[in-house]
Amino acid sequence: MTKHFGPRKAVSDISFEVGAGRAFGLLGPNGAGKTTTVRLLTGILTPTRGSVTLFGQTLTRANADALRARIGVQTDTRLYENLSARDNLRTWGELYGLAPRVIERRIAEVLEVLRLADRAGSLAGELSKGMRQKLLVGRAVLHEPDLLFLDEPTAGLDPEAAIDLTDYVRDMVRTARTTVVICTHQLHGLETLCDDIGILNNGRLVVTGEVQTVLRQRWPEHRYLLEVEGDPALAREAISAAVGKAVEFSTVEGQLSFSLPEQETISSAVAALVHDRIPVRAVIPRRPTIQDLYFATINDGSAA
């Protein structure tokens, strides 16, 4: 898809697929084109070029409403400020065409999971920012959609609520097989939620694929962090002598970091340290993360 707003190219020739029952993280700096992409995928915007296929059908004006009934979107509509949290959810349940009994059951479940049950009667306009955010998520999942779009769902949430919400979304993917597309700047620990990622930069999809595959392609070597007593240079010499030239070193804040081409060679490296009587405090495998990949991609390696 490509989307232009006048002369501005918000999204240029992007193409990706999100498998059913998988979580796809759509990442990128401010203005990269994430929200535009989600609006194209949900039919709020029409692509300048290209098309969107949802559940095997090309999204058109004629089928947009029917396809959208299977989707939950957390953004792009407001809460009814003068209705209570419960009545906001009830109104949306009616709009989704759910039976009254189902609406009441889902309202109770969603308020419970999001820890909003004690504020069910409060007007939406009187809730805190984080509570409003949770209510928007609750509204998006009320009808148990097959496909859920979340745009910065944890923005404004306290750390506990952010963990709760992430756990809830993970559970929807793993248990209910909901397909999730999540735009977020909260990269820490994202690999526990996302199966696949796409990184957008200046409207272009610069990385896409299965998380572990993409990380392995970018960093095929095995990285470790080493803490020793005394001079790290001695440890470096011992490891180089035992493992050979293929080992790469860097020293970060007095800690030695090194990469081995093969995982098995770590035992030779540790044996060499023991043999040379270098007191080892810790050898920690340093698995690359989505955060590492994001910075490596956006900043061309400077923060990797």
Ligand X SMILES: Nc1ncnc2c1ncn2[C@@H]1O[C@H](COP(=O)(O)OP(=O)(O)OP(=O)(O)O)[C@@H](O)[C@H]1O
Q: Smallest distance, Å, CB 188 to ligand X? A: 17
182 neighbors 153 (Cβ within 8 angstroms): yes
Quick one: which segment of 3-11, 70-78, 116-124, 128-136 binds ligand X (CB under 6 A)?
3-11
- 150 counts as binding ligand X under rule CB under 6 A: no
Quick one: which segment of 31-39, 216-224, 250-258, 259-267 binds ligand X (CB under 6 A)?
31-39
Among 24, 25, 28, 147, binds ligand X (CB under 6 A): 28
Give the 3-state secondary structure percentages of the chain, helix then strand then coil, rounded to 5: 40, 25, 40
- 36 counts as binding ligand X under rule CB under 6 A: yes
- Residue 8 corresponds to which tokens in the numbers above? 């501005």
Type of residue numbered 193: L
Q: Smallest distance, Å, CB 6 to ligand X? A: 7
- 8 counts as binding ligand X under rule CB under 6 A: yes
Q: Exposure pattern of 103-142 as b/e (b: 16+ CB <10 Å)?
A: beebbeebbebbebeebbebbbeebeebbbbbbbbbbbbb
Give CA–CA dist 260/245, Å, rounded: 10
Tell which positions 207-236 bind ligand X, by CB under 6 A: none
Helix (H, G, I), strand (E, B), or coil: what is residue 77? coil
Q: Which is nearer to ligand X, 35 or 88 (CB)?
A: 35
Tell which positions 95-124 bind ligand X, by CB under 6 A: none
- 142 counts as binding ligand X under rule CB under 6 A: no
Q: Which is nearer to ligand X, 12 or 91 (CB)?
A: 12
E strand spans, 67-191? 71-73, 147-151, 179-183
Among 32, 140, 161, 197, binds ligand X (CB under 6 A): 32
Q: Smallest distance, Å, CB 239 to ligand X? A: 42
- 10 counts as binding ligand X under rule CB under 6 A: yes
Among 12, 16, 22, 31, binds ligand X (CB under 6 A): 31
Local structure of residue 223 (DSSP, 8 states): E
Q: Which is nearer to ligand X, 29 or 130 (CB)?
A: 29
Q: Smallest distance, Å, CB 145 to ligand X? A: 21
Tell which positions 45-104 bind ligand X, by CB under 6 A: none
Quick one: which segment of 32-40, 113-121, 123-131, 160-168 binds ligand X (CB under 6 A)?
32-40
Within 10 angstroms of residue 165's Cβ, the number of other Cβ atoms is 21
- Which long-range CB contacts under 8 A does 15-21 form with residues at least 24 apart? 15/50, 15/205, 16/198, 16/205, 16/208, 18/179, 18/181, 18/196, 19/179, 19/195, 19/196, 20/146, 20/177, 20/179, 21/173, 21/177, 21/178, 21/179
User: Which residues of the chain form contacts with ligand X (CB under 6 A)?
Assistant: 5, 8, 10, 28, 30-36
